[in-house]
Amino acid sequence: MTQARIIDGKAFAAGLRARIGEDVAKLKALHRIQPGLAVVLVGEDPASQIYVKSKGEQTEAAGMRSETHRLPANTSQAELIQLVSKLNADKDIHGILVQLPLPGHLDSAPVIAAIHPDKDVDGLTVTNAGRLASGLPGLVSCTPAGCLMLIKDVVGDLSGKTAVVVGRSNLMGKPMAQLLLQADCTVTIAHSRTKDLPAVCRQADILVAAAGRAEMVRSDWIKPGAVVIDVGITRLPSRDPDAAAAGKTRIVGDVAFEEALEVAGAITPVPGGVGPMTIACLLDNTLIAARRLAGLEP
């Protein structure tokens, strides 16, 4: 049997960023608007620091205004909400992202609720979740939006396809399911309590794995020819014991990639699949937010 097509998320994201860069230049030239993104990072979580740095660099590379607000780990809920309110009122800022997870003493729900829905480029507010569920224009969470672009690129018309999303987070699983439903798929949201998860996954023409469990999806969970989208990112010790002893690590997804290659029709690698799409879609959302806030699109 032929091996699965490997979906090149890195190349797709580069193309998307180039298109966004051109649209940003047009918005500046025609309307004197420069889209602005503010990212808020509380504390010193190492993975979050890497993501936030990368978001800032890519925002600037697209010609947008980038602000990174780094707050100490002991920032209070009131201080954080005060910053969000200030950014809501800032005319030069069109997108606000509060990097998650927040330090343990902070409650993310009221912080997210404080973000103006039209600047909520994470699509996390109740208003944007409701807009998505109701089929109204809003801002859609970046990772599922990026996954849908990759899926559409491979599959074309999704109408009537069976889709299974493993994971039910507000940031990923739930919006992913809504997007697939809107594209006329028959959608199942599976999770850690789902009975016979392998059998449920085997039904899927499109399988999105976003459970956060390293290499959980094995080859016998995959319908032959299925499109497999791997959203997982787990850092494990290197396979080579000497390298592992020296602290070297490797990144794996939620899918056992090598064996899945033998069964799937197409599959995203980790890294280089879904990951690069997330920031590209964040830039896209910031551009959309800037155009909408200026009344240039509904």
Q: Give me the residues that bind ligand GUN (CB under 6 A), please.
A: 97-100, 122, 142-143, 171, 278
Beta carbon of residue 285, minimum distance to ligand GUN (angstroms, whole number)? 10
Catalytic hit among 55, 119, 174, 223: 55
Is 82 considered catalytic here? Answer: no
Residue 191 and residue 209: Cα distance in Å, rounded? 10
Q: Which of these, 38, 20, 29, lies nearest to 91 by C-alpha position?
A: 38
Torsion of CA 256, 161, 174, 282, to 10 degrees: 80
Return the closest-CA partner of residue 99 out of 44, 41, 165, 57: 41
Q: Which of 99, 205, 230, 254 is catalytic?
A: 99
> Residue 55 or residue 223: which is nearer to ligand GUN going by CB?
55
User: Which one, 100 or 113, has the nearer CB to ligand GUN?
Assistant: 100
User: Percentage helix, strand, coil, to 5, in the chain?
Assistant: 45, 15, 40
Is residue 152 part of the annotated active site? The answer reads no
Nearer Cβ to ligand GUN (86/248) = 86
Supply the minimum distance, in Å, between the C-beta of residue 124 and ligand GUN: 7
Residues making up the chain, counted from first to last: 298
Q: Measured between alpha carbons, how far is 171 from 70 in angstroms, rounded to an integer? A: 22
Position of minimal CB gap to ligand GUN: 100
Marked catalytic residue, from 122, 205, 230, 254: 122
**3 secondary structure, DSSP code:** P
Q: Toward ligand GUN, which CB reaches closer, 181 or 233?
A: 233
174 is catalytic: no
Catalytic site positions: 55, 99, 122
